[in-house]
C-alpha cells in the first residue's frame, strides 16, 4: 500500500495539533526544521501546509487526509469528506463594525444606510466566498441587487457583477481597516478582545469553527487506504472522546451493588472485580465528565473509595468497525 499522505496545519493550529497528536499515540518530530516532519508510523507521510490550502490539496487528491479549520473547508467550497470534528482550535467567524454605528443596527440596515449615502459598501476579509454568500443573504442586498455577485477586489484581479458591494481581500491586520478602508470586517476571533481594542463591535457571528479531519473521497474508495484512514480516525476520535469522559473505580458492598447499578444508569456495562474481602467488589467504568457531580451524592451513600482518572483516549473500536462496514456497503 502507498503511504497515506497526511497534511497537518502550520500557523495558529500548529501547536494544538502537535499536542493533540501526542495524546493519540502519534509522535511527530522535526516540525521546527522541515515541512516534512517524521512520524512514528511508517504508513503515514506527513506534510506541513497552511490550513487555508489543505482543503484544496485534499479535494484534488494531492493529499489523502488533512487537518484544517472547518471555516477553510467552507471558504474553499472543498469537495471533501469531514471525518471527525477534533474540537480544538475553536474560533468564531464574525462581522464587526465601527463602534460609531448605532447600537442594535442590523447588518442589513447598516448596508442600506451606506447605499443611501451614494457610497459603495466595503468589506475587508480573508474569506471572500463566505463574505459573498453572507452579503447576498441580507434582505437589503436582495432587494437592491437580487442575485448579483458582490465584487471581489484583490491585488491581482477583480471579479463580480456588483461594484456597489466590494469585498477586499485582507492579508492580515484586518481590524485596522475600518472606517477609512472598509465599512466592516469579517474576521475570526476567540475572545473578541482584539476587535474591541480596535474600536470595533461584533454585530453577528457568521459561523463557529474548529479543527476537523478531512479526507479525499477517492482515497476513501480505495480499500487499503480506507482501512488505514479509519484506523487514524479511531485514534484521533479517541482523544476527543477521552477529553469528555473519566474513568472511575469505586468499592461497593455486594449487598449494595444492584442498587448502585439500578440508581446510576450512567454506570453502563461496568467491570466488576472481587476484592480480598469477599463481601465487597470493585466497580470500574467510563462515564461522561458532566455526570460525575450528579452521581457523587449517591455514590457516597452506597460505596466508598472512589478513584477518578482522566483517560488520554477512549477508543470506540466497535463504532469504527460499523463505520467501515457501512462505508464498504455504500461503495
The model's pTM is 0.86
Q: Are residues 22 and 171 in the same domain?
A: no
At residue 321, the pLDDT reads: 56
257-280 average pLDDT score: 85
Output the pLDDT for position 4. Answer: 97
pLDDT of residue 326: 55
Q: Which is more confident, 93 or 242?
A: 93
Q: Report the candidate in 260, 246, 243, 264 with the shortest Cα–Cα distance to residue 307.
A: 246
CATH of the domain at 305: 3.30.70.120
Residues 152 and 53 in one domain: no
Residue 146 falls inside a structural domain: yes
Do 96 and 200 belong to one domain? yes
Q: CA nearest 270: which of 279, 255, 282?
A: 282
Domain identity same for 228 and 137 = no
The confidence band for 280, taking pLDDT boundaries of 50, 70 and 90, is very high
> Can you give the residue range of the structural domain that contains 96?
92-209
On whether residue 320 sits in a domain, the answer given is: no
Is residue 304 assigned to a domain?
Answer: yes
The answer on 299 and 289 residing in a single domain is: yes
28 and 121 part of one domain: no
Average pLDDT, the chain: 91
* pLDDT above 60 (res 328): no
- For every residue of 249-306, DSSP letters joined together read EEEEEHHHHHHHHHH-TTS-S-EEEE-SSTTEEEEEEEEEGGGHHHHHHHHHHHEEEE
**What's the confidence (pLDDT) of residue 331?**
36
Instruction: Answer with the one of 224, 242, 260 that is the final residue of a domain.
Output: 242
Q: What is the average pLDDT across 154-169? A: 96
43-57, 76-90, 202-216, 262-276: lowest mean pLDDT where? Answer: 262-276
Q: Are residues 84 and 232 in the same domain?
A: yes
Provide the number of structural domains found in the chain.
Answer: 3
Residues 82 and 229 in one domain: yes
Is residue 330, in this structure, part of any structural domain at all?
no
Asked if 209 contacts 222 with a C-beta cutoff of 8 angstroms, the reply is no
Final residue of a domain: which of 195, 227, 242? 242
**SS3 for 95?**
strand
Domain boundary among 199, 225, 242: 242
Residue 51 sits in the same domain as residue 115: no
Of the candidates 245, 211, 171, the one whose C-alpha atom is nearest the C-alpha of residue 68 is 211
Whether 177 is in a domain gets the answer: yes
Q: Are residues 34 and 117 in the same domain?
A: no
204 and 215 housed in the same domain: no
> Per residue in 118-157, pLDDT tens?
999 999 999 999 999 999 999 999 999 999 999 999 999 9
The percent of residues in the chain predicted with pLDDT above 70, rounded, is: 95
pLDDT at 267: 73
Q: Are residues 171 and 127 in the same domain?
A: yes
Instruction: Tell whether 234 is covered by a domain.
Output: yes
The reply to whether 331 falls in a domain is: no
Q: Classify residue 329: in a domain, yes or no.
A: no
Statement: residue 8 has pLDDT above 80: yes
We report the CATH number of the domain holding residue 214 as 3.40.190.10
Amino acid at each position: 500500500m502507498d503511504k497515506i499522505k497526511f497534511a497537518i496545519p502550520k500557523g495558529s493550529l500548529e501547536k494544538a495539533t502537535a499536542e493533540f497528536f501526542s495524546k493519540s499515540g502519534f509522535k511527530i518530530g522535526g516540525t521546527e526544521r522541515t515541512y516534512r516532519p517524521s512520524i512514528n508510523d511508517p504508513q503515514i507521510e506527513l506534510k506541513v501546509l497552511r490550513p487555508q490550502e489543505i482543503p484544496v490539496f485534499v479535494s484534488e487528491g494531492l493529499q489523502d487526509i488533512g487537518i484544517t479549520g472547518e471555516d477553510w473547508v467552507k471558504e474553499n467550497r472543498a469537495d471533501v469528506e469531514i471525518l471527525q470534528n477534533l474540537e480544538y482550535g475553536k474560533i468564531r467567524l464574525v462581522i464587526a463594525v465601527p463602534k460609531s454605528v448605532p447600537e442594535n443596527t442590523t447588518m442589513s440596515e447598516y448596508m442600506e444606510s451606506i447605499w443611501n449615502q451614494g457610497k459603495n459598501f466595503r468589506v475587508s476579509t480573508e474569506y471572500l466566498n463566505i463574505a459573498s454568500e453572507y452579503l447576498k443573504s441580507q434582505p437589503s442586498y436582495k432587494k437592491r441587487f437580487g442575485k448579483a455577485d458582490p465584487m471581489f477586489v484583490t491585488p491581482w484581479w477583480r471579479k463580480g457583477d456588483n461594484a456597489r458591494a466590494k469585498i477586499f481581500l485582507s492579508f492580515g491586520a484586518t481590524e485596522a481597516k475600518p472606517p477609512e478602508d472598509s465599512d466592516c470586517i469579517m474576521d475570526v476571533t476567540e475572545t473578541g478582545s482584539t476587535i474591541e481594542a480596535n474600536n470595533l463591535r461584533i454585530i453577528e457571528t457568521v459561523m463557529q469553527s474548529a479543527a476537523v479531519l478531512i479526507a479525499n473521497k477517492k482515497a476513501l474508495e480505495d480499500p487499503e487506504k480506507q482501512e488505514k484512514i479509519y484506523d487514524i480516525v479511531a485514534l484521533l476520535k479517541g482523544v476527543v472522546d477521552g477529553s469528555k469522559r473519566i474513568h472511575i473505580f469505586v468499592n461497593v458492598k455486594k449487598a449494595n451493588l444492584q442498587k448502585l447499578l439500578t440508581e446510576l444508569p450512567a454506570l453502563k456495562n461496568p467491570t466488576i472485580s472481587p476484592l480480598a474481602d469477599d463481601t465487597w467488589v470493585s466497580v470500574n467504568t467510563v462515564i461522561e465528565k458532566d455526570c460525575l457531580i450528579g452521581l457523587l451524592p449517591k455514590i457516597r451513600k452506597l460505596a466508598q473509595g472512589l478513584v477518578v482518572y482522566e483517560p488520554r483516549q477512549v477508543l470506540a473500536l466497535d463504532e469504527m468497525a460499523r463505520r467501515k462496514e457501512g462505508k464498504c456497503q455504500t461503495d
